[in-house]
Structure 1
């Protein structure tokens, strides 16, 4: 079974600076509900048998959206509430998602504020190896999640929650902008990583879990997938940049 965890619990402070009322950014859309970020993620995951969507902030809006706009996906979706979305970092949503799953052959993890092209994502779905993803965007400390490979070919992630500066503390062979999509084939290993987190790590970002899973793995042991078309929608302006692509995809899907 393929299981996809999508995390959408955060308050989206930067996104809501430009909205008339508080919104859950994965549900924000122009013109039609099918033009939301969440819908296009689900739409591009046709071969996934189970979705675990972890919400928190405006959780009632998430429930309403699933009930009214997502009939074609509902039978495969399990909603999970993160009651600590306002206290803990993004990692707790991923933990809640993992803990919800009894057993699965593989887990695909997607952050819920992303846009990506279907062709690239299909390579993630089809891979028979663990997957890390990268995009072709420039790396800026105010928004990028950095993936780098050290002198021993080990995989490392780096992110500044203050959105100010990045510090790579060692010589590197390669530096990438992470596309924030991962595939984990060893579910037992993933659960073991979660069970061994410290309290501080539980309160941290999802990179605590991702890094724990890929610790002691060499870069040539995993599939590095380039997401050719990619966007991280931290603001309304970010969404508007990719809106036309979402609209075109919906036209191809629905013919309208």
Structure 2
């Protein structure tokens, strides 16, 4: 069984500020709801995955109404999970909740994506069809204000770096290369992923989703994962980013 996990529990602070009112950015649209980030993420992937797990939190009622209104015919496929700790815990708790749900099925592979991403549909499907563990990258500039970055050390191990305050990134060891994360990952060793989740400390659950991701990929050698580059990729942090996704998807 193929499972897609999408997390969109965060409070959308930067996006709401750019719009002028509090809103859940993944379901935001200025005209056509089909131009919302989440609508595209679901419709572009519904044929490939057996289950789509969506973890919400902030404005959860709005998310629930959105799913019930526009995806009523997919009730058996879409699983909605409520992260009631979204305001206190980090993004890792949403990912952990989504994984707990995924482990209830006979899952053979899990793709995890953050809920504020626009990805070219053809590129995403190409990535999904690769039978391997995958970390993704994009070609945007690496800046502390926006990027989730990772570097590869001299032994070939992956290390993620991210500043929740968006101020600065720091690396304290020699490294082979540094990349801007595409914030999408594929996991094929479900037993390993389950073990990591079952043995997380309570404090680790409260951190970012990179805690679980780091623990998984640091166990792998260079031959056990591949790096997939997205050429068309937008992280939707502000209304201007959203408008760019509309223009890109209209091409």
Q: TM above 0.5, one fold?
A: yes
How far does residue 4 in structure 1 lie from its aligned partner after superposition?
0.3
2:155 — aligned with what?
152
SS in 2 for 1:133: strand
How far does residue 72 in structure 1 lie from its aligned partner after superposition?
5.0
Displaced runs of 4 or more, over 4 A? none
1:252 — aligned with what?
none
How far does residue 73 in structure 1 lie from its aligned partner after superposition?
3.7
2:100 — aligned with what?
99
Normalising by structure 2, we get a TM-score of: 0.95
1:253 — aligned with what?
none
CA distance in 1, matches of 2:73, 2:151: 39
**Are residues 1:113 and 2:116 paired?**
yes
Q: Verify the 8 A CA contact 1:155 1:218 in the aligned structure 2.
A: no
Matched residue pairs, number? 248
Q: Which runs of 5+ in 2 are unaligned?
A: none
2:229 to 210, 226, 231: 226
1:3 — aligned with what?
3
SS in 2 for 1:110: strand
CA distance in 1, matches of 2:250, 2:74: 19
1:217 — aligned with what?
220
Compare 148-157 and 196-205 and name the one that shifted more.
196-205
Q: Verify the 8 A CA contact 1:159 1:166 in the aligned structure 2.
A: yes
Distance 1:138 1:20, change over 3 A: closer
Compare 204-213 and 192-201 and name the one that shifted more.
192-201
CA distance in 2, matches of 1:224, 1:230: 15
Normalising by structure 1, we get a TM-score of: 0.93
Cα RMSD (Å) of the superposition? 1.2
CA distance in 2, matches of 1:51, 1:216: 26
Q: Deviations over 1:110-163 (max 9, x none)?
A: 100000111221122101111110001110011101111100001111101110
